[in-house]
Amino acid sequence: MNDQIKSWILTLLQYGLALALILLTPWFSKTPALLLIQIAGLALGIWAIFEMSRSKLNPAPLPRKGASLITSGPYNLVRHPMYLALILYFFPVAIPQAKLTTLLILAVFTLNLIFKLLFEERKLAMVFKRYELYQQKTWRLIPWVF
């Protein structure tokens, strides 16, 4: 399959599943601890977007021409802070519901993010010579875990 098509399928699937989660779950958790996790996810996402704005931000996992490798801010610790931000936002509202449909969507959403980041990392390694060194110094998605 063509990389461009694969890239857009992964991206559209991510947005579609996120929309489904938004429609099927409350926007914010009613539990204070879980709400703090969501707020941390939102803050992380905003910080990551701010840092990435210095490059050529692309919602698809293919690097744009003229893009630069961002390794500052949250990217200094995690290679995919925007994906982590999405997980931190959606898990606290989807898990407590424990509805089969919501949990299934959350599982597919998370798997899609993992497939998307693995695809993205292969492409970034082809474009940026320093990417392998960057991979050795940072966590992929969750610090001290993955």
Give CA–CA dist 32/118, Å, rounded. 33
**pLDDT given for residue 91 in this prediction:** 96
For the chain, the domain total comes to 1
Give pLDDT, residue 66.
82
pTM: 0.92
Q: Is residue 143 part of a domain?
A: no
Q: What is the pLDDT of residue 58?
A: 75
What percent of the chain has pLDDT above 90? Answer: 82
Residue 1 has pLDDT above 90, yes or no: no
Residues 69-115 pLDDT 10s: 999 999 999 999 999 999 999 999 999 988 999 999 999 999 999 99
Structural domain of 79: 3-55+65-137
- Does residue 126 fall inside a structural domain? yes
